[in-house]
Amino acid sequence: MKISFEKFHTLWNGQDDFRLRELDCGILLKAVCLDTMCDDAKVSAFVLQPLAYIGKAQSLSEVEKKLAAGTGVRKPPNLFAATEDFTNGYTLIFDKSDNCISVDTRTVVGRSVAEPPTSMVMRGPREGFVEDVKVNITLIRKRLKTPNLKIINLAVGKYTNTAVSVCYIEGIAEQRIVDDIVQRLQSVKTDGVLDSSYLARYLDVSKTFLFRRVGSTEKPDIAVGKMLEGRLAIIVDGSPMVLTVPYLFVEDMQSPGDYYENSAMTTLSRSLRFVSVIVSVLLPALYVCLQVYNYQIIPLRFLITVLNASEAIPFSPLTEMLLVLIVFDILREANLRMPSAVGISLSLVGAIVLGDAAVQAGLLGAPAVMIGALSGIGLFTMPDNTLILSLLRLVVTFIGGVMGLLGVIVSTMTILVYLASMQDYKTPFLAPFAPDIPEDRQDAVAQVPVPKMKKRPRSIPNENRDRRG
């Protein structure tokens, strides 16, 4: 396939980092590269030095054979592929007849593999994904030493041409799901993909606007664990977050360290997370509606305490609770955006000064502040969905405050119907609870010891259910 050097030159000439060297090796060769994307030492070692000592060559094919020091030497099939290689840091060598070869001279820029700040564990591997797709694939392949690990490479984004790798285990992942996901990624029409979260939106089949439908992890051991259950891992160049699909709601309850701890402890901590989430969303609403409409439910002594504490408050219980929740959300949002040192001070200012001062000044009642804080802390047991749960908490509280228990029941049921109706890639979002899949409950909220998990989950489509064969 001929690639017009003239066309290529016209496209790139004038760029500050564009480098062109003309070399005479028996035939006239032109080597081009982008200075900013190439490693000078590699250009020298894999291109210039071999060409300098090559002697007389008859054709570019002969040159290609003699560039033995370069690990990645190939013939790009067209101008598009040549441009892609060029922008990725390859050096292109053209001859007079517009034949072209590309030599891998990419520079390695990026951070080294380290423990991801969002998924720290007490026990277990501490390696985390980085921004380089190649390193990330290495981290996966290091754990999956099998020829069945398949990687499909794609380029997505009109201008960014971002490298995307779809990884799966052949014989475990269902081929129809693989084809569906690859097709979806190939059909993405966008100018740029700067992070894996961009692609997550395209992989969300049911276009949900509330809950995430695509998992993400920064840890290769987690990604491999999910692939062993039949999921696919999607690595996007420039992002340390690797996407996993299909995705279940219960995955939000699972923490990276769960598989390295005693299964009884894991069951206990997962149950706590589960209860925390329910309490976080419903407690403020129940507090408000019980106080406003159904105070008879509250035990008398507790009721007296609550009434004493909120007697002088100038707001209605609903307004008071909404204020507490909104202030908590503001503090959380500000805390996330502050440098860590300032963040700690801000938390203290928020918790002690704002909360205590508001109670002292008689603007907010201590029970409301306590319930707001308890609910807010509970949300962080499900860190990936904190924001959406926080929003739901506000909505349920508002409806509960306006309509009482009826409102709480109706809004909770609406959320459940919504969750129960979600199903992407043949995977019901609430599995293994709705629909009930008893075999899969071995690793949902409760966890059986790892040696007893002999079957892969049925909730995730897979081609081989037996983990032992």
Partner 1 sequence: MDKNRVQVGQLALLYLLLVMGGKFLTLPSLLAGDVGHDSWLSVAFSFVWDGVCLCFLLWAIKINVDSRMDISAILDKSVSKPVTKVFLAIFFVIFVLRTNILLSSCYKMFSVTFDVSTNWIVFVLPVAALAFFAVAKGFNAIARMGQLLFGLILLAVAALFVSPFLEMKFGTLLPIAEAGWGKILLTSYTRSFWFSDYIFIYFVLDGIKVKKSVFAPMLISFAVGAFLCILLNAVFVALFGYLAPDFDMAMSKIGVFSAANTANGRWDWLTLSVWLVSVFIKVMVFIFCAYKCIEKLVGANFVKFNWIAAGIVLSALSLPLFVSTEQLLDTVIKWGVIPFSLVQYLLPLLMPLLTTVAKRKTEAVYE
Residues that bind partner 1 (CB under 8 A): 293-294, 296-300, 302-303, 403-410, 413-414, 416-418, 420-421, 423, 426, 428, 430, 433-436
- Comparison of 55 and 438: residue with beta carbon closer to partner 1: 438
- Comparison of 272 and 406: residue with beta carbon closer to partner 1: 406
The minimum distance between CB 185 and partner 1, in angstroms, equals 22
- The tokens of 213 are what? 């439908």
The minimum distance between CB 428 and partner 1, in angstroms, equals 7
Angle in degrees, CA 426, 432, 434, rounded to 5: 80
| Segments of 170-294 assigned E as strands | 215-217, 232-236, 242-245
The minimum distance between CB 407 and partner 1, in angstroms, equals 7
- Comparison of 25 and 248: residue with beta carbon closer to partner 1: 248
Q: What is the DSSP letter of 438?
A: G
Structure-derived torsion over alpha carbons of residues 31, 37, 42, 46, reported in degrees to the nearest 10 = -30
Q: How far apart are CA 312 and CA 307, in angstroms?
A: 9
- Comparison of 233 and 396: residue with beta carbon closer to partner 1: 396
Class of residue 387 by CB neighbours under 10 A (exposed 0-12, middle 13-18, buried 19+):
middle
- The tokens of 458 are what? 């049925």
The minimum distance between CB 291 and partner 1, in angstroms, equals 13
The minimum distance between CB 410 and partner 1, in angstroms, equals 5
Cross-strand bridge partners of residue 431 = none
Q: How far apart are CA 312 and CA 200, in angstroms?
A: 49
- Comparison of 153 and 206: residue with beta carbon closer to partner 1: 206
- The tokens of 438 are what? 């008893």
- Comparison of 193 and 306: residue with beta carbon closer to partner 1: 306
Q: How far apart are CA 153 and CA 166, in angstroms?
A: 6
Cross-strand bridge partners of residue 20 = 32
- Comparison of 67 and 403: residue with beta carbon closer to partner 1: 403
The residue type of 145 is: K
The minimum distance between CB 382 and partner 1, in angstroms, equals 17
The minimum distance between CB 221 and partner 1, in angstroms, equals 31
- Comparison of 265 and 297: residue with beta carbon closer to partner 1: 297
CA distances from 325 to 321, 368, 378, 408 (A): 6, 9, 13, 17
Q: Cβ–Cβ contacts within 10 Å for residue 78, how many?
A: 12
Q: How far apart are CA 359 and CA 283, in angstroms?
A: 20
- Comparison of 109 and 304: residue with beta carbon closer to partner 1: 304
Going by DSSP bridges, is the β-strand pair 215-217/162-169 parallel, antiparallel, or unpaired?
unpaired
Q: Cβ–Cβ contacts within 10 Å for residue 67, how many?
A: 16
The minimum distance between CB 233 and partner 1, in angstroms, equals 24
Q: Cβ–Cβ contacts within 10 Å for residue 357, how many?
A: 11
Interior/surface letters 183-215, b for 16+ CB within 10 angstroms, e for the rest: ebbeebeeeebeebebbbebbbbeeeeebbbbb
Of 448, 442, 409, give the one whose Cα is nearest residue 250: 442
The minimum distance between CB 416 and partner 1, in angstroms, equals 5
Give the DSSP H/E element, type plus range, for residue 149: strand 149-156
Q: How far apart are CA 259 and CA 246, in angstroms?
A: 20
- Comparison of 295 and 380: residue with beta carbon closer to partner 1: 295
The minimum distance between CB 453 and partner 1, in angstroms, equals 23
The minimum distance between CB 287 and partner 1, in angstroms, equals 13
- Comparison of 120 and 297: residue with beta carbon closer to partner 1: 297
Q: What is the DSSP letter of 38?
A: B
